[in-house]
Amino acid sequence: MLLLLMDVDGTLFLTDDPLVGEATAEAARVIWGIDLARNCLAEPLHDGGLALGQMHALARRAGVPESEIEGGLPRWCALHAELYLARLAETDTSAWQAAPAAAETLTELQTSARLALLTGNAEPIARARMERLGLARFFPEGQGAFGCEAEERARLIGIARERAGGWPAAETVAVGDTAADVAGAHAAGIRVVGVHGHPEALAGADALISSLSSLPGALSALRPFA
């Protein structure tokens, strides 16, 4: 059986969500007294980034001393997730879009894979998004890894494997939509399927698919797994 590590933004969740940028900026103002734009995460350099690493880079660019960044990051992570959830509670997300046939595809995958989230989002944000999209049931608590737990994606993959009981790297596959997803998976010694993203950005992925519904077939083509 595979451990299948699913990205959220751009993979399972296809709608732009400005709330996370707003919460990021407000929490940074509280923790370090810096002013960031509400769309501070919109730059391409943040594509596929992890919350902890993104905020570290933004605070450094704003001139916050490194020691103050390191000391404030845990508090920032907690506060930005709290602020996001407060905004989400007042937001109509009926127009949010999951990947087409996401629920059906994940149901099929459950028969041959162990599913977990691997995302740059803080865990409360990722799980709230899955709940709103009707996909939370596929991703049990205590599994996967999230963007406030490490600054490097390869380390997140290690955390997810540890939480799955030391799952073998050879039987672990990541699914994502950015070059960072591909690079992080290979740095961690696992395979990766690129989905939705531009083929040039996903160059080097072990398989490329244009729709999540093609994932079961792509995984079959990647076998055998050691």
Question: Would you state the pLDDT for residue 62?
Answer: 94
Give pLDDT, residue 199. Answer: 79
What confidence score (pLDDT) does residue 114 get? 97
Residue whose pair of structure tokens reads 């407060």 in the numeric block: 86
Task: Please check whether residue 140 is in contact with residue 123, taking contact to mean a CB–CB distance below 8 angstroms.
Answer: no
Q: Which residues contact 226 (CB under 8 A, 6 or more apart)?
A: 168, 170, 171
| Residue-level pLDDT at 138 | 98
For 63, 72, 219, the CA distances from 209, given in Å and listed in that order, are: 41, 39, 10
3-class DSSP string for the chain: CEEEEECCECCCECCCCCHHHHHHHHHHHHHHCCCCCCCCCCCHHHCCCCHHHHHHHHHHHCCCCHHHHHHHHHHHHHHHHHHHHHHHHCCCCCCCCECCCHHHHHHHHCCCEEEEEEECCCHHHHHHHHHHHCCHHHCCCCCCEECCCCCCHHHHHHHHHHHCCCCCHHHEEEEECCHHHHHHHHHCCCEEEEECCCCCCCCCCCEEECCHHHHHHHHHHHCCCC
With tokens 């990021």, the residue in question is 24
Q: Which residue stretches of the chain have pLDDT < 70?
A: 42-48, 224-226
pLDDT for 225: 57
Write down the pLDDT at residue 45.
52
pTM (2 d.p.): 0.94
pLDDT at 198: 77
pLDDT per residue as tens digits for the range 7-33: 999 999 999 999 999 999 999 999 999
Backbone region of residue 142 per phi and psi (left: phi > 0; alpha: psi in -120 to 50; beta: other values):
left
Do residues 106 and 16 lie in contact, with contact meaning Cβ atoms separated by under 8 Å? Answer: no
